[in-house]
């Protein structure tokens, strides 16, 4: 069932007229991945590489925040890597990345992520968090454990260099919250290796 949806997503071109170029859906993982990670939308670099988090955000996320190797991050048994919009959305008239198209979450992501037999969810970025938890404040989501689809869910700020101000204003995220999340993450990955 997940494989069918993945194939449909791969063929999806719904946003072509909004983007002005051919969409390139990016995702990674299989139905037994232990951790489902959902971020916002691929960057231009990821659009070009076809592999998630092969950019500056990925470097921070994998090396500084998770402190895991690429081998562990791209191990399909560990991570299913998706986004609230599967395609890089292009730039707006001011040269900024367009917001991820909402139709992707409604059409695909909501059903896609429920078909995976994961242990936990990690939601990255305020826009993605709002789709999953529309009534909660972002700070509350980040600093407290959440539950979505009856599973433990962590919410992270976006690791993009553009998000430095939020991190500067919330030092307790890096000092206290992140080590707690990292410990759980490592336990799940290690469990997989045993
Ligand atoms: S962003 Fe989602 S809905 Fe839009 S073209 Fe890509 S896969 Fe389809």
Q: Is 104 in the pocket of ligand 1 (CB under 6 A)?
A: yes
Q: How far is the CA of 188 from the centre of ligand 1 (A)?
A: 30
CA atoms within 13 A on the CB side of 150: 3
- In the three-class reduction of DSSP (H, G, I as helix; E, B as strand; rest coil), residue 151 is classed as strand
Domain count for the chain:
1
Confidence at residue 148, expressed as pLDDT on a 0 to 100 scale: 96
Atom from ligand 1 closest to the CA of residue 103:
3
Q: Does residue 192 surpass a pLDDT of 80? A: no
The parent domain of residue 100 ranges over 2-193
Q: Per-residue pLDDT tens for 7-50?
A: 999 999 999 999 999 999 999 999 999 999 999 999 999 999 99
Express each pLDDT in 61-91 by its tens digit. Answer: 999 999 999 999 999 999 999 999 999 999 9
CATH code of the domain covering residue 101: 3.40.470.10
């Amino acid at each position: 069932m997940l494989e069918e949806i993945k194939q449909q997503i791969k063929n999806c071109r719904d946003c072509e007229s909004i983007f002005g170029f051919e969409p390139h859906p990016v995702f990674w993982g299989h139905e037994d991945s232990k951790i489902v990670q959902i971020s916002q939308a691929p960057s231009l670099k990821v659009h070009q590489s076809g592999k998630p988090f092969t950019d500056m955000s990925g470097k921070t996320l994998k090396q500084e925040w998770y402190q895991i190797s690429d081998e562990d991050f791209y191990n399909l048994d560990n991570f299913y890597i998706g986004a609230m919009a599967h395609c890089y959305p292009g730039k707006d008239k001011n040269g900024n990345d367009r917001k991820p198209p909402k139709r992707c979450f409604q059409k695909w992501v909501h059903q896609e992520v429920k078909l995976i037999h994961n242990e936990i969810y990690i939601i990255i970025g305020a826009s993605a968090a709002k789709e999953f938890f529309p009534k909660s404040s972002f700070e509350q989501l980040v600093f407290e454990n959440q539950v979505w689809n009856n599973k433990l869910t962590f919410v992270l700020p976006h690791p993009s260099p553009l998000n430095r101000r939020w991190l500067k204003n919330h030092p307790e995220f890096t000092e206290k919250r992140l080590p707690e999340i990292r410990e759980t993450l490592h336990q799940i990955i290690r469990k997989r290796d045993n």
